[in-house]
Amino acid sequence: MNRSLRTLLCAGLTALLVGCAGTPEAADIDALLAERGYTTGEEVRDIKQYRINGWQSLDDRHVIIETGPASRYLLTLMTRCDNLRTAETIGFSTTTGNLTTFDKLVVRGTSGIVRDCPITTIQELHRTEK
């Protein structure tokens, strides 16, 4: 087989695999949110004067936070955040009174190890009608 043809085929296969790798995660998160009765809304730059009333992890990169009786947000983290699923407590490192995508989720696992996990996106969540 011609070397340039082989290179082209490898590049095409790599692009196909990379494209497919990103799709299931979004579908999985949408399914996990639907199971809990939520759909994603607009992406927001910050949550002003937030107060965490509760939280639940969806996987190692996504967490739902409750900031009021009807206010829920989906936080997507830059990388996997070990111990998120089994965390005893979470917090945030922020330099302002607002939670932004420049901040980090701070996770304390059952082993007592603390991990900082950078936030990449914040999305509003809406209740689905049943």
- pLDDT beneath 50, residues of the chain: 4-24
The whole domain housing 55 covers 40-127
Contact 47, 41 (CB under 8 A): no
Q: Is residue 66 part of a domain?
A: yes
Q: With the C-alpha atoms ordered 41, 93, 119, 27, is the resulting torsion angle positive or negative?
A: negative
Q: Is residue 78 part of a domain?
A: yes
Q: Is residue 28 part of a domain?
A: no
Q: Is residue 14 part of a domain?
A: no
pLDDT on residue 34 = 94
Q: Is residue 8 part of a domain?
A: no
pLDDT on residue 25 = 64
- Furthest-apart CA pair in the chain: how many Å? 64
Q: With the C-alpha atoms ordered 93, 102, 41, 37, is the resulting torsion angle positive or negative?
A: negative
pLDDT on residue 49 = 79
Residue with tokens 């304390």: 108
pLDDT on residue 58 = 94
Q: Is residue 116 part of a domain?
A: yes
pLDDT on residue 7 = 42
Nearest alpha carbon to residue 25 among 81, 82, 76, 90: 76
Q: Is residue 12 part of a domain?
A: no
Number of structural domains (the chain) is 1
